[in-house]
Amino acid sequence: MRIGYGWDSHAFQAGVPLILGGLPFDHPQGLAGHSDGDVLLHALTDALLGAVAAGDIGTFFPPGDPRWKNADSALFLQTALEEVEHAGYKISNVDTTLILAAPKIGPVAEKLRERVAELLAIDPGCVGIKAKTPEGLHQDDVAVAHAVVLLEKFEEGGALEQMAAVAEPQKQMDDVVRKLVDRTTEPVRKPVFNTDDIT
């Protein structure tokens, strides 16, 4: 098993679209960033890369590189998924927390969960999406995302090994039963007494 943790933050800015978890939001401000500013996917990308010790999002996509200007953060996530697969792991589950004053995440949490699950190619039941407000932190102009991922080793032929593990005890039990049956079906041998031994 491997655990990865990711964190990201971006300031709100007028005149740019708001993208969270790969979904567009109808909001007067978006998140400033070299790419599309999707803090949720950025945090997930870092969590995945960190879990397999592959660096961070800046290692693969330097913020000063013009190729990634306004880039879709799903591309970053896909690269992280490839690193995870290359390392021989697969996602068990992810859990995330968004911290922002607005927009409200609750009404769209299920849709957001389904979209993130789609991007990660896992079941929505393996994705946690939570949201909090930055109450008392004076950070209403910022969006923050935290992400934790749990990876499990992917073993080719794992299913065959499991079948073999189940079959071996069954084979041993069958052998025991067979021997017991053979004993009960053998002809009964009468004991031979030597009359000289009888007193």
Per-residue confidence (pLDDT) for residue 135, from 0 to 100: 84
Per-residue confidence (pLDDT) for residue 139, from 0 to 100: 84
**Token output for 25:** 């939001």
Count of H helices and E strands in the chain?
A: 5, 7
For the stretch 67-126, pLDDT in tens is 888 789 999 999 999 999 999 999 999 999 999 999 999 999 999 999 999 999 999 999
Mean pLDDT across 12-18: 92
Query: Within 13 Å, how many C-alpha atoms sit on residue 167's CB side?
Result: 6
- Rounded Cα distance between 20 and 9, Å, is 12
Per-residue confidence (pLDDT) for residue 159, from 0 to 100: 42
The whole-model pTM stands at 0.76
Query: Within 13 Å, how many C-alpha atoms sit on residue 169's CB side?
Result: 4
At 86, give phi and psi (nearest 5°).
Answer: -60, -35
Cis peptide before 169 (omega within 30 of 0): no
**Residue 131: strand pairing partners:** 98
Asked if the model's pLDDT at residue 134 lies above 50, the reply is: yes
Per-residue confidence (pLDDT) for residue 62, from 0 to 100: 86
**Token output for 21:** 């978890």
97, 55 Cβ separation under 8 angstroms? no
Q: Of 16-20, 127-131, 155-159, 185-189, give the lowest mean pLDDT range.
A: 185-189
